[in-house]
Amino acid sequence: MTEEKTTADAATAKAPKLWNVPNVLTMARIVLSIILFAIMPFKMYVTALALFIVAAITDFVDGWWARKFNQKTQFGRIMDPFADKMLVCGTLIYLVTIPFLHDLFPCSGCACPLACIPIGLATWMVVAIIMRELFVTMLRSMVEASGGDFSAKWIGKWKTTIQCVDIPLAFVLLILEARGVASPVWLRLAFVVGLYAVTYLTLYSGWIYIRAAIQMQKHD
């Protein structure tokens, strides 16, 4: 009996605590996201930019800390991707409601019909990103419920990285526009290129996850 108790105590001592640093950072990211969404309608873009950057940094730090100090928990495994999706998808939903970001290269009177196609943050991009996130989350739940490993792929990490760079560019464009300052062409171009890169990686990484899930099911 004593030996069993000692073994149980040792296992408990080695198990990461629920409220460790990574999980606290994850919850902090959720709180920061809520504050960010609350101030967006008031056009407080400087504060929103700062909040998004801090929240994105917590995403990097909590993952690094959990791996470095072996503080991975089931709670963190569930809440960390939820917090990431809440931050990115929620921010994109708010940004796509802002008309200024819809067409960053307005038509200058050119007769070519293609020149009048809006180039900027489009609704279909945000819908594609959100649908991908929801679908991959469903696949992950199904695969891991059957005992499979559905860890993040490198392309998914690249997608998240570009998102965390591109969204701050949107805030910078909005800050300049609110101050009546013309945004430089290179900044608008960088934002648009980032949008299409994120959309492509979103769809492509979604296909990779689907293919991986199919392969796992074939081996079962």
CA proximity to 21, closest of 68, 53, 54, 85: 68
The pLDDT score that the predictor gives to residue 118 is 86
Q: 167 by DSSP, 3-state: which?
A: helix
The pLDDT score that the predictor gives to residue 38 is 97
The pLDDT score that the predictor gives to residue 136 is 83
Please check whether residue 31 is in contact with residue 51, taking contact to mean a CB–CB distance below 8 angstroms: no
Handedness of CA 114, 115, 119, 123 (dihedral sign): negative
The pLDDT score that the predictor gives to residue 16 is 62
The pLDDT score that the predictor gives to residue 220 is 59
The pLDDT score that the predictor gives to residue 11 is 45
Q: Within 13 Å, how many C-alpha atoms sit on residue 207's CB side?
A: 5
CB atoms inside a 10 Å sphere around CB 4: 8
Extract the residue ranges of the chain whose pLDDT is less than 70: 1-16, 108-116, 144-153, 217-220
Amino acid at 3: E
pTM of this prediction? 0.86
The pLDDT score that the predictor gives to residue 75 is 85
Q: Which long-range contacts (C-beta less than 8 Å, at least 24 apart) are formed by 12-20?
A: 16/70, 16/71, 16/72, 16/73, 17/71, 17/73, 18/73, 18/75, 20/66, 20/71, 20/73
